[in-house]
A = this chain, B = another copy of it.
Amino acid sequence: MSEHIDVFLGDWHRMVAEKDTQAIDALLADDVDIGAPPYLEKIEGRALVGHLLGLILHTIEDFTYHRRWRDGGEIALEFTGRVGELSLQGIDLITLNDRGEVQHIDVLMRPINAIEALRDTIRPQMLAYLQGGG
């Protein structure tokens, strides 16, 4: 498991830095779920979660990871960035399954105005994606 996590963290940081969303998709479990910043309900499934992660990565500018914690397959990754003029701090809480894939990911952020700006930018794009048949 420990090697899985080392490999995962190296891959994940590279993919996020390069916004390589296709490669990120390959790191997600089929039945991955995400707890996005604006909503309590989880969004499930690799296609939807991958698409949402891609939109988040393309919306947050100057995305930079800082502190990171790990405890078995449970990982916490702090990041900063901005949406337009609004700076933000966030954290990814990631659970890996025993194949080293992302099983759960929760994204928490502050402050409110940056979360609202992220939501308002991404919501119409997610709706268009869903209406396009996924």
Contact = CB atoms under 8 A, between A and B. Distances in A.
Contacts of A119: 112
A76 B87 contact: no
By size class, the interface of chain A is: 20 to 34
B93 A78 contact: yes
Nearest to A112: B38
Interface of A: 35-40, 67-71, 74, 76, 78, 86-91, 93, 106-112, 114-116, 119
A107 B76 CA distance: 14
Contact of A35 (B68, B71, B89): B89
Q: How many copies, total? A: 2
Contact of A89 (B68, B108, B111, B114): B108
B112 A110 contact: no
Contact of A70 (B68, B69, B112): B69
Contacts of A40: 86-89, 110-111, 114
Contacts of A116: 112
A35 B86 CA distance: 15
Contact of A67 (B68, B74, B114): B74
Contacts of A69: 69-71, 74, 76
Contacts of A112: 37-39, 112, 115-116, 119
